[in-house]
Chains A and B, each alone.
Chain A
């Protein structure tokens, strides 16, 4: 049977636990103490240890996303400054420098994305569409290439089943 606790007591106990109410009445104080004790009990059971290799992998994905975004901004600024004719040149140069094979002529959606971005280079939404358009043109050359760590991790995963989460779940 759940105990009935009135809203005033719940509010006061919550404020107490948030460190905002120094001296609540006795029922609120008792409730706050009970919750604290239960939380300490649960904390021991919820703990999960994460292998650093997992964080490395996510960090590399994040770095690749950052690089894509930076590239989109750079190309966008170059396009905005150079005008419509220069835009094609800058894109071509970017593609050449990226080392990827020439892409087919941009589709209408790509043109629209570029035009939208040029109209408002500060807009996040247009930047995202522009990023996608650049990816479409250049291929996703900024995707991280699996390095030896990934291969080692895959091997470990095969051996151990679950290399990421250790502790009570292993």
Chain B
């Protein structure tokens, strides 16, 4: 039986092998990038946060206790980075929302995302992406984090409760409330095709 690729990568990385970090990025990088992107709504910030997380791993991985599951440990660090980033963003003053249109009325985040062969499909995808971002932004931070950690971190509710310092039932209540709210707000924006 193949060994768990994450555990193999973690052991290699803990031994200081660059291949271990590379393997971790290959296995978990897309999920981490997705988490950072959905949490900040900004791909540049997401990429920056992924780089910051990997640098932090270089410092902290030797302290990781292999008895625990690696992913919740990793996503806890990721969640802390997001929290700090959002806090800094808030203290830096008001910022244009990603779901708010630019001067020409186009959503700001999508202005840099143009270029599909089928214009109609691109426009529909844009509208759906914008609607999801807008809907996510309406959620309070703990609720949004709960949904994102659950999806991208593949964390159990017990792990989310521990990460967020709340009772188990509260973690599920947030997920339930958030999911219902998103579903209600995105009604009419169902993906096509």
Contacts and interface: CB of A to CB of B under 8 A. Distances in A.
A45 B132 contact: yes
Given A18-B156, A58-B25, A5 B176 contact: yes
A18 B38 contact: no
A134 B27 CA distance: 33
A45 B57 CA distance: 29
Given A11-B168, A43-B151, A54 B21 contact: no
Contacts of B156: 17-19
The majority secondary structure among interface residues of chain B is helix
Contact of B168 (A14, A41, A162): A14
Contacts of A128: 59
Contacts of A17: 156-157, 172
B151 A165 contact: no
Nearest to B33: A50
The contact size tier of chain A is 35 or more
A18 B162 CA distance: 13
Contacts of B18: 59, 62-63, 66
Interface string B45-62: 001001100110111000
Interface stretch (B1-9, B75-83, B87-95, B121-129): B121-129
B113 A66 contact: no
B147 interface: yes
B37 A35 contact: no
10 contacts: A10-B172, A11-B167, A38-B180, A43-B151, A45-B191, A49-B30, A54-B47, A65-B54, A66-B21, A164-B47
Given A42-B182, A59-B22, A162-B43, 9 more contacts: A10-B172, A14-B168, A14-B169, A14-B171, A20-B158, A46-B34, A162-B113, A165-B43, A169-B113
